[in-house]
Amino acid sequence: MAGTSAQLRRLGAELRRLREATGRTQGDVGAALGRTHATLVNWERGKSKPSKSDLVCLLAELRVPAELRKGLERLREDATRGPSQWATYGLPGWLRPLVSFEEDAVRIETFEPVLVPGLLQTEDYARAVHAGGRRKVAPEHVEKWVAARMQRQRRLSGVAPVVLHAVISEAVLRLEVGGRAVFVRQLESLLDAIAADNITLQVVAEAEDGYSDVASNFTVLHFDEPDADPPLGYFDGPLGGNMISDEGDVARLARMFDDVCQLALSEADSTEALTAALKELRKKGKTHA
């Protein structure tokens, strides 16, 4: 789904709904339009965009009312324009779908076994991650990518902020990314962030033995209309990230997230663990001063 935008995916879901309402198959409709079955599948999955003339013919073939056609044509135009605000940041192709879908998500669930989740990183912590982390970024791109991460965090505040539920391993609270001063500020920022009603943070204790099979970070994004916009998954690693759209795979990720939530400390106990880690870090700083 590397080339998919949120708008294109939504258009595809609407086209599928309209076709299914007529009782016709993708092959049948495709044949009527002079298009292959695979073409219809890709349109409905948001993997490719119908041309303006193809969309007009498709909507006519499905006998879609005129008042609905205009909205679908606008949706196609929005997908054509794409997430222009991100163009200046020089983000890699594998990351662009995630930032696009984040804009439309109403709830984000994320698990991170090594690092503070990106949406909760301070600027200096993010800079350290990009400059020397598992996927080192070329120096000329670091500041742009850090700026993009700060821009993405705006979804956590303002009107209708996204709900974020993050689970991290206790190891995240021990790894001093960027050095002690940077990491102290990061932990302070986490404590400030979780005071917000829309942000939840849980910590999985190092002694907990039930999440050893979760070897990678992953995220599940939920949208306002799950029937038209089913949840999406995402995970990344040293070679880049991947969006997950298969409903079975996304459901599996959602179950994995529920599992780690059950294993994790409560919100209150997680806050205590975070506070204790910060206190210990400050004490170390005074000892070495």
Q: How far apart are CA 14 and CA 19, in angstroms?
A: 9
Mean pLDDT for the stretch of residues 127-135? 78
Phi then psi for 117, rounded to 5 degrees? -55, 145
Q: Which domains, and CATH codes, for the chain?
A: 6-82 (1.10.260.40), 85-287 (3.30.870)
pLDDT band at 288 (very low <50, low <70, confident <90, very high): low
**Contact criterion met (CB below 8 Å) for 7 and 79:** yes
* pTM over 0.85, yes/no: no
DSSP-based three-state secondary structure for 200? strand
pLDDT tens column, 227-264: 767 899 999 877 788 888 888 999 999 999 999 999 99
pLDDT of residue 84: 55
Distances (CA, A) of 286 to 172, 187, 201, 276: 22, 17, 28, 15
75 to each of 5, 10, 59, 64, 281, how far by Cα in Å? Answer: 11, 8, 13, 15, 50
CB-facing half-sphere around the CA of 57: CA atoms within 13 A: 13
Give the separation between CA 261 and CA 276, rounded to whole angstroms. 21
